[in-house]
């Protein structure tokens, strides 16, 4: 049984650390653009000290695999991998796009979710996830890197009811709304800051469904560009 779960997410300009103990979640968050390395150990130590727990007492580690900010993402992953190596603690990495799908589900209860994260001014990280009745998200293979026009083309071909969660600009959202077909309904959501608790939910469902924990998780580079 996974009693004590530590989560780290440094994929954005925020440094997020969460600890789940006895079904209660404790959080630390610090706005730290370009300075995650300055805060992460302090936040971690404070969180453990306040809850009277040591690293050796952790049963499971979870973290955001990306995509995300290049340097900050690796800082959080390095901390998780170090703890895992020293204390032989199992770890589970979760895609940032899947985390967004979980955020969306908690708000809308819509099982079909389009997750989008801005990569740069020309490209978007894109995925379509579906939550099955066991609480697991299916859609990792849909993750790709698209330009804005191809993203729109993929969306307008869909049918059914979807939630779309993202940090895209309003003019892109308006362009999608203008081109919706009559068989497609989309509920638009803005990406939230925090995702640590969503990672806890994902990996808890993972454990509940007795999924095998990998020994190694690759950073979620999404380099493929589909046209």
Range 3-27 average pLDDT: 94
Q: Is residue 219 part of a domain?
A: no
Contact present, 189 and 163 (Cβ < 8 Å): yes
Does one domain contain both 37 and 146? no
Contact present, 63 and 77 (Cβ < 8 Å): yes
Burial grade of 29 (CB within 10 A; 0-12, 13-18, 19 or more): middle
Residue 10 has pLDDT above 80, yes or no: yes
The total of other beta-carbon atoms located within 10 Å of residue 80's CB is: 22
Does one domain contain both 107 and 129? yes
Average pLDDT, the chain: 91
Does one domain contain both 64 and 171? no
Does one domain contain both 73 and 13? yes
Does one domain contain both 10 and 84? yes
Domain ranges, residue 9: 4-95+193-208
Does one domain contain both 19 and 85? yes
Does one domain contain both 198 and 87? yes
Range 86-108 average pLDDT: 96
Q: Is residue 213 part of a domain?
A: no
Q: Is residue 217 part of a domain?
A: no
Closest of 72, 112, 108 to residue 190, by C-alpha: 108
- The label of the residue with tokens 């819509």 reads 110
Residue 225 has pLDDT above 60, yes or no: no
Does one domain contain both 23 and 85? yes
Does one domain contain both 11 and 71? yes
Does one domain contain both 129 and 180? yes
Per-residue model confidence as pLDDT tens digits over 177-223: 888 888 999 999 998 876 678 999 999 999 888 887 887 787 877 76
Does one domain contain both 54 and 67? yes
Q: How many domains does the chain have?
A: 2
Report the CATH number at residue 202: 3.30.420.40
Identify the residue with better confidence: 222 or 33: 33
Q: Is residue 14 within a helix (H) or strand (E), and if so which, with residue range?
A: strand 14-21
Q: Is residue 64 part of a domain?
A: yes
- Residue 211 CA to residue 71 CA, distance in Å, equals 30
- Residue 43 CA to residue 10 CA, distance in Å, equals 12
Q: Is residue 227 part of a domain?
A: no
The total of other beta-carbon atoms located within 10 Å of residue 90's CB is: 15
- Residue 109 CA to residue 174 CA, distance in Å, equals 23
- Indicate the pTM of the whole model: 0.92
């Amino acid at each position: 049984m996974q009693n004590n779960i530590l989560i780290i997410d440094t994929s954005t300009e925020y440094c997020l650390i969460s600890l789940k103990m006895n079904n209660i979640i404790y959080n630390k968050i610090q706005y730290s653009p370009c300075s995650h390395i300055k805060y992460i150990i302090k936040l971690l130590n404070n969180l453990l000290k306040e809850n009277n727990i040591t690293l050796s007492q952790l049963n499971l580690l979870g973290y955001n695999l990306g995509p995300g900010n290049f340097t900050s993402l690796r800082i959080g992953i390095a901390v998780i991998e170090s703890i895992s190596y020293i204390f032989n603690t199992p770890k589970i990495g979760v895609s940032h796009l899947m985390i967004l799908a979980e955020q969306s589900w908690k708000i809308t209860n819509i099982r079909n979710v389009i997750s989008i994260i801005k990569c740069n001014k020309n490209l978007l990280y894109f995925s379509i996830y579906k939550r099955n009745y066991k609480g697991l998200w299916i859609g990792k293979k849909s993750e790709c890197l698209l330009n804005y026009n191809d993203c729109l083309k993929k969306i307008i071909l869909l049918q059914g009811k979807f939630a779309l969660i993202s940090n895209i600009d309003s003019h892109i959202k308006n362009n999608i709304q203008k081109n919706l077909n009559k068989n497609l309904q989309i509920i638009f959501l803005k990406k939230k800051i925090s995702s640590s608790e969503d990672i806890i939910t994902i990996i808890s469902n993972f454990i509940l469904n007795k999924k095998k924990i990998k020994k190694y998780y690759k950073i979620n580079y999404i380099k493929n560009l589909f046209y």
